[in-house]
């Protein structure tokens, strides 16, 4: 009879160890999941802050780029400057002639 109870005690002790091991594994898994959730939450918040920061910077850049001339406007300005350069060259030539005339006829 004692052997019978000893065998049940061994089985009961084994089941107790298995149950406590399972409780330990479940507790460890829950703690790990909670830590990962906290880390993901922190990462998500940091990511959203960075996105907001980049959106603000992009809005500033867009506002500055509104005032920059386009390539067609730049081409038109270059063409105008070239025509002004030719006009100024002709004007300088005429001023040179007037200057020569005034110097020689004095």
Cα 94 to chain center, whole Å? 58
Mean pLDDT, the chain cut into blocks of 10 residues (106 residues total): 75 90 90 85 91 95 90 93 93 92 85
How far the first Cα of the chain sits from its last, in Å, is: 149
Look-up: residue for tokens 């100024």?
Answer: 88
Residue 87: CB atoms within 10 A of its CB come to 10
What is residue 53's predicted lDDT score, i.e. its pLDDT? 95
């Amino acid at each position: 009879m004692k052997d019978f109870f000893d065998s049940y005690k061994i089985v009961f002790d084994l089941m107790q160890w298995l149950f406590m091991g399972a409780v330990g594994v479940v507790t460890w898994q829950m703690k790990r999941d909670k830590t990962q959730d906290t880390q993901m939450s922190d990462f998500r918040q940091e990511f959203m802050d960075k996105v907001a920061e980049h959106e603000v910077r992009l809005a500033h850049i867009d506002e500055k780029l509104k005032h920059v001339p386009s390539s067609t406007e730049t081409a038109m300005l270059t063409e105008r400057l070239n025509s002004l350069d030719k006009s100024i060259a002709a004007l300088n030539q005429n001023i040179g002639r007037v200057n020569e005339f005034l110097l020689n006829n004095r």
